[in-house]
A and B are shown apart, each in its own frame.
Chain A
Amino acid sequence: MPTIEVSLKDLNKLVEKKFTRKELERALEYVKGEVESFRGDRIRMEIADTNRPDLWSAEGVARELRSRYTKDKGLIRYKMKKSGLRVIIDKNLKNIRPKTVCAVVKGLKIDDEFLFQIIQLQEKICETFGRNRGEVALGIYDYHKISPPIHFRAYKPDEIKFVPLDFDKELNLRQILSQHPKGKEYGHLLADFDKYPVFIDSKNHVLSMPPIINSDYTGKVTKKTRDVFIECSGFDMKFLLPSLNIMVSALADRGGRIETVEVVSREGRMVTPDLKPKRITVDVDRVRRLSGLDLGKDKIRKLLLESRYDVETEGGKFLVSYPAYRQDIMHQVDVIEDIIISYGYNRIEPVIPKISTIGGQTRMNEFSRRVSNIMTGMGSQEVLSYILTNRDNIAKRMDLEVSKLIEIENPISKNWSVFRTWIIPSLIEFIGKNTNREYPQNIFEMGEVVLFDEKAETRSRNPTRLAWAFADSEANFTKAKQSFDFLMRNLGVAYVIEDVEHPSFIPGRVGRVSVKGRKIACIGEIHPKVLENFRIEQPVCAFEINLSDLLGILKK
């Protein structure tokens, strides 16, 4: 979720309305914004909509508030003229960074806050919308320091040098990647190439090396800058065009005059930015059905204008024009949401749907509840653990070889790096953490385990198991079998117990339990070696049952 910082004074100036803090908090609902903090005049807010980069600056927020609080409604039509500037894309960029779209904005009066917002918006576009510069790199330059035309071209790492932003000596491209902080941060984006992209003017002044860094000479915007050149480079027009449009619209909202640039490549020539509004059809009927509101056509039109759309009616349909900085509109439902937001969520009378259905838990949870009643009735305390655990706990410390574990590739911590295959280790670990608590400790846990299953579509299954453990000086096999038997009698299940070998238990004191020929449980005294591994100084006996299998048998 992008977080942006704005100045209340600046925002009020842009909207031409004085908001108090409280009023502003309400108003921000229109942009899905939530105030994180007020500090003097500074407001930090989170914008929930990760698909609306046009809202990630004071200008974007102000635009939406103006249309709700002032008479300035409907689509904003930005005027443009030609700048005459040409940008030529060299064919050697084909597989490296093949595309760019550019613009010129003139007549800017940049103050501190304006500068802050430009930099913030540029950052949000590149980092959040542009996937950490992977999709979008956006650069802004002092127009008057550039000698047209501009070339966009790939150079070998040692072929060319320039002074990067905030440095005082010339570095070649290789040195920039290894020495400049931004080179270290974003160098991986160029790791696959033997040539790197560069914007360079006709006097061989380097503008920038996208997506890494601007030059200190041209690529620095200050309060003295009046006219700027903007470029957006990457691979995919659906990222590049909206990014450029958002930036120039924001600058134009502050009084800048947008001028077009001619971008020439082998594929042809293109004039950018393209701020022509786009169109989508919205059904009146669909608006009413989705909102549940009985809205008249005029009302819908008014709400559309408040949401910065222009509208033409055509029978039961609206032909809606939306601004070029909106890249999120895929379907008419996106427009309908804006209509409802303009109407006001809290003005809608909530209606509980009159639907009569019969509820129910999963059979497994229903069964688990019965089982837990029996276990607590027996005097056992339920415990809860994570399904994620580590290899040591379920295998090594249990003195067990477990081959097929499902393991996390990118764990946050080794403690939670594999999915448990059985629950007894969780209980033993629990007892190990409670050695200073009163004995006997009679505990159980019900939950899922994760097992490999070649045949399943997810190559795994997660049966529910019940594990029980008893730690006490008197803990022994008899106690375990008594408890197990208590559960089985209460469930009305007959079972057979057979000797089995299991390294976690004392040999000769561990059994495998079958019900109707199906192995569903194991039961026994935990081996002292295991207890030692968990620093437990009391004998422990335990059992574990596959409740999913048991339920399957019971159902038949």
Chain B
Amino acid sequence: MRVQELLEALHPLERRVIPFLRDNVELKDLADKSGLERIEVMRALQWLENKNVLRIKSVSKEIINLDKNGEVYLKRGLPERRFLENLDGETSLMDIKERAKLNDDELRVCLGVLKSKYAISILGNRIEPTRKKDGLLKDGFVEEEFLKRLPLEVSKLDQEGKNTYSKLSRRKKIVKKESVKLKYVDLTEFGREVLLKFKKTRIEGLLERLTPKMLKERSWEGKTFRRYDIKINVPEIRGGNRHPYSEFIQNVRETLVRLGFREMEGPIIELEFFNFDALYQPQNHPARDWSATYRIKEPKHGKLPDRRMVRNVKLSHEQGWKTGSRGWRYKWSEKIASQLMPRAHDTAISPRYLAKGVEIPGKYFNLVRCFRPDVIDSTHAVEFNQLGGFVIDKDLSFKHLLGLLKQFVFEITGIGEVKFVPDYFPFTEPSVQISAKYPEFGWVELAGAGVFRPELTEPLGVKEPVIAWGFGIDRLAMMRLDVKDIRNLFSQDLDFLRKSRRVF
């Protein structure tokens, strides 16, 4: 900042302090001279420090100061002076104590001190001054001189001072040592320049806040506004924001819509029929176990859909129906299929749409909450989102499935390097898993996909090949949002939400 600009931007407090600035001036000094409160001076100094005008040095010092008795003695004279002044010829201890107004303690000290200075001689209970008395009273006591000079820094005492301090400190509450923090100013080169210019330039009548009154009266005309320090930190404000995870989900939805996908929706409480049976998952499949899916207490059963479709699905499970399959070969139960359960995977939605009739060609997706009794840890939650869907057309094949996945991965993650690995899902054949190579994480499994089995599609009335796919959306979100624990995707910390950046 140039000097002139700086001068124009000075805050009124800074203006009050600047005239008294010099090297090694102490904060208290500045406060006294400027007539400001210490806290005001401190604020001004900090601003000036930010502007590189000065440096604030903080020095911790040990200071010797007067204690309670010391203050009294400074006014009334030390006890030994009073003792000596009141000692005329041989006197009894009682008398001198009375005359010099000493307490027992002081009396005892006086005897010791004056004896060591050879100013008195003691004869039993009586005291007599020596020849040295008058000299001592005339020249004064070094201890008194010392007290007059206080406060003094411990480190600056000379040998005599040290001796005196050492003697006084043994007496009752005459001196005390205290540690104080003192703030000093050191001017910078730039600061000296500013000071020089400040004294020469008279800047007066700078406008502070622009007020409606000034506008109305046009009183601002011909005047200068004080410059503000625009680099200064300002307090944060709170705005309205989306939750980062829901914003991420919204972005994914929009990406899919851009790719021509239509969104599907389905019930949270689902029939086992759609969650499993219509997907050709046999009723004794381990994935249908109590431990792998949630059950609900009430109501237990729902209504199965269209009878003909249910019959086709039943036959498909039992013996393959007309699909050319041998089926799972077991007795299929309508009662099990009509049980209700919380949707355990998003794929439950696809057979609903396939059965209802879809556009051909068609592209469909869903992004929904699913529920499973997983043991909760950093990668497993009891409630999570899944992204999935299908593409249907008459000539679709496995190579299209791979093309589609590769396109998804690129559109959603921006990564072009992918690899395919054979995988298994009960409802697709062939099945595949796609991994993408992240520069920071290496290979990461992102999605599973496959061609729906004919035992699934044909009973629902679908003749065309259907490519089904599903993405681990929570995992993608964790990587994108830099969240290490899946539970934090649903963060309940308001500060985290307020401070989180938007995702793009």
Contacts and interface: CB of A to CB of B under 8 A. Distances in A.
Interface stretch (B50-58, B85-93, B290-298): B290-298
B340 A459 contact: yes
Among A331, A334, A372, the most chain B Cβ lie within 10 Å of the Cβ of A331
B362 A352 contact: no
Contacts of A379: 238-240
A238 B451 contact: no
A418 to B, nearest CB: 9
B139 interface: no
Among A289, A337, A385, A411, the most chain B Cβ lie within 10 Å of the Cβ of A337
B421 A353 contact: no
A457 B305 contact: yes
A295 to B, nearest CB: 12
A365 B249 CA distance: 11
Contacts of B455: 330-331
Contacts of B359: 357
Nearest to B393: A355
A533 interface: no
A346 interface: yes
B495 A437 contact: yes
A461 B270 CA distance: 10
B497 interface: yes
Secondary structure dominating the interface of A: loop
A377 B301 CA distance: 44
Interface stretch (A10-18, A46-54, A174-182): A46-54
A312 B397 CA distance: 25
A360 B426 contact: no
Contact of B399 (A51, A349, A377, A460): A349
A450 B268 contact: yes
Contacts of A34: 421
A350 B417 CA distance: 12
Contact of B430 (A135, A337, A351, A442): A337
B28 interface: no
Interface string B453-464: 111000000000
A508 B278 CA distance: 52
A42 interface: no
Given A331-B455, A346-B420, A384-B245, A412 B376 contact: yes
Interface stretch (B149-157, B222-230, B320-328): B320-328
Contact of B240 (A381, A407, A462): A381
Contact of B398 (A292, A380, A411, A462): A292
A293 B359 CA distance: 26
A425 to B, nearest CB: 13
A291 B395 CA distance: 11
A456 B303 CA distance: 8
A372 B290 CA distance: 38
Interface string A25-68: 00001101010000000000000111110000000000000000
Contact of A407 (B261, B298, B371): B298
A62 B494 CA distance: 55
A350 B246 contact: no
Interface in A288-329: 289-293
Contacts of B79: none
A484 to B, nearest CB: 15
Contacts of B245: 384
B424 interface: yes
Nearest to A356: B260
B240 to A, nearest CB: 3
A29 B429 CA distance: 16
Contact of B494 (A346, A388, A434): A434
A378 B238 CA distance: 11
Contacts of A238: 329-330
A341 B422 CA distance: 7
A543 to B, nearest CB: 16
Interface in B365-420: 369, 371, 373-376, 382-383, 391, 393, 395-400, 402-407, 419-420
Contacts of A441: 494
Contacts of B423: 32, 48
B429 A289 contact: no
A412 B375 contact: yes
B479 interface: no
Interface stretch (B4-12, B30-38, B251-259): B251-259
Contacts of A378: 240
A330 B493 contact: no
A155 to B, nearest CB: 29
Contacts of A49: 424
Contacts of A292: 397-400
A359 B259 contact: yes
Nearest to B326: A330
Interface in B321-354: 323-330, 340, 342
A290 B260 contact: no
Contacts of A372: 242, 246
Given A292-B399, A353-B396, A353-B400, A457 B302 contact: yes
Given A379-B238, A412-B376, A331 B324 contact: yes
A336 B451 CA distance: 12
Interface residues of A, number: 90
B269 A350 contact: no
A182 to B, nearest CB: 20
A345 B382 contact: no
A131 interface: yes
A482 interface: no
Contacts of A443: 494
B293 to A, nearest CB: 9
B462 to A, nearest CB: 15
A346 B417 CA distance: 12
A382 interface: yes
A331 B320 contact: yes
Contacts of A515: none
Given A32-B424, A355-B260, A462 B268 contact: yes
B112 interface: no
B498 A407 contact: no
Contacts of B271: 457-458
B294 A387 contact: no
B429 A462 contact: no
B325 A291 contact: no
A555 to B, nearest CB: 16
Interface in A332-388: 332-334, 336-337, 340-341, 345-346, 348-353, 355-362, 364-365, 369, 372, 375-388
A497 to B, nearest CB: 24
Contact of B296 (A29, A362, A375, A409): A409
A351 B286 contact: no
A4 B398 CA distance: 30
B260 A406 contact: no
Given A51-B426, A350-B402, A376 B320 contact: no
Given A32-B422, A333-B453, A359-B258, 10 more contacts: A236-B330, A352-B406, A362-B264, A376-B242, A379-B240, A381-B498, A409-B294, A411-B294, A419-B268, A438-B238
Nearest 10 pairs between A and B by C-beta? A292-B397, A376-B240, A292-B399, A337-B430, A350-B402, A331-B325, A359-B257, A350-B403, A345-B420, A49-B424
Interface of B: 238-243, 245-246, 250, 253-254, 256-265, 267-271, 284, 286, 290-291, 294-299, 301-305, 320, 323-330, 340, 342, 359, 361-363, 369, 371, 373-376, 382-383, 391, 393, 395-400, 402-407, 419-424, 426, 429-433, 451, 453-455, 465, 489-495, 497-498
29 contacts: A32-B424, A50-B286, A289-B395, A290-B398, A291-B399, A331-B324, A345-B432, A346-B419, A348-B398, A349-B399, A352-B406, A352-B407, A355-B393, A359-B259, A361-B253, A362-B263, A377-B240, A378-B240, A381-B238, A386-B382, A409-B295, A412-B374, A413-B382, A430-B494, A437-B494, A437-B495, A438-B238, A442-B240, A452-B299
